[in-house]
A = this chain, B = another copy of it.
Amino acid sequence: MKLATCQNHTRDGQLMVVSRDLSRAVAVPHIAATLQQALDNWAQAEPQLQQVYIALNQGEAASAIAFDAARCLSPLPRAYQWADGSAYLNHVELVRRARGAEVPDSFYHDPLMYQGGSDAFLPPCAPIPLRDEAWGLDFEGEVAVVTGDVPLGADAAACASHIRLLLLVNDVTLRNLIPGELAKGFGFFQSKPATAFSPVAVTPDELGDAWQDGKVHLPLLVDYNGACYGKPNAGVGMQFSFPQLVAHVARTRELVAGSIVGSGTVSNHDRSVGSCCLAEQRMIEIIDTGAAITPFMKVGDTVRIEMKDAAGLSIFGAIAQTVVKHD
């Protein structure tokens, strides 16, 4: 099943069921007005939404309209939680090697994770507002899950059963604000402005065989200024599966339905597949030549993040954003 949230000039938008091929969509106000409402009441809502999805794919949803990703908000325009892991250790290893540091052994069995701001996500095709180019704007292509209610102390096996939806992420980052913030010891804050998510969120079954061991075994396609910048496989090098990442959150607190938990920047050891963020290329340049050459994003730059199935069809629609100056 595929779900999206359409702009209707309310804070949470209008829940839409989207056809598998992303061509058609239908509002379902008789089931749930918003995606959060559906997640709050998933046991009742999910079978009803599935019925609509089946009819829509068979061309039998009378009130369906053309699906337009440009009219979408984030599937959850605002959420109660956005917690982002850093599960691809190749990314961490590059950052560390670039500054001559080792990766601590603990990083291989204890996930890195930060708490993100979740009150105002960017729509998937909306501009990225930037107040100051000197802040070093970067994209980060990721995969994330949306959970149901997860009890305090749930282990990874239990958490696997609480994964409701998958979606793609642009974890927008202000790289040049990071060193100062990390030196303060409290982690990221201003360096993580509003995040963007893909137009469509999908239930895990939509991925078929590509959803295995709590990971998505497909390339994440990142284009920067119209050219392919990275296509690493999201199932390769992911040290912690999504159920493990959710369990990391649940170790000391419960999660409520609609919590979003991210993978961190997708990154493969194989350099030929490129990168899902500019910082990683800069780290490779530092390791190889002693200095970073790739600049961060400038006003007018574009980024596109998408994932395709074995038949080449877009699964989640594309995050497609342009950097704009915000005064």
Residues of A within 8 A of B (CB): 11, 40, 78-81, 83, 86, 104, 106-107, 110, 112-120, 129, 131, 135, 152-153, 174, 177, 180, 182-194, 248-249, 251-256, 258-259, 326
Contact = CB atoms under 8 A, between A and B. Distances in A.
B112 A115 contact: no
B117 A83 contact: yes
Query: Sorted from nearest, which 9 A-B pairs have the closest CB atoms?
Result: A187-B187, A80-B119, A81-B119, A115-B115, A119-B256, A193-B252, A193-B253, A114-B186, A190-B252
B118 A80 contact: yes
Given A83-B117, A131-B152, A177-B252, A186 B184 contact: no
Contact of A253 (B110, B117, B180, B248): B117
A187 B117 contact: no
A252 B80 contact: no
Number of identical monomers bound together in the oligomeric complex: 2
Contact of A152 (B80, B110, B192, B326): B326
A149 to B, nearest CB: 9
A189 B256 contact: no
B326 A194 contact: no
Nearest to A95: B185
A78 B251 CA distance: 19
Contact of A117 (B107, B115, B184): B115
Contacts of A119: 80-81, 255-256, 258-259
Contacts of A259: 119
Contacts of A116: 115
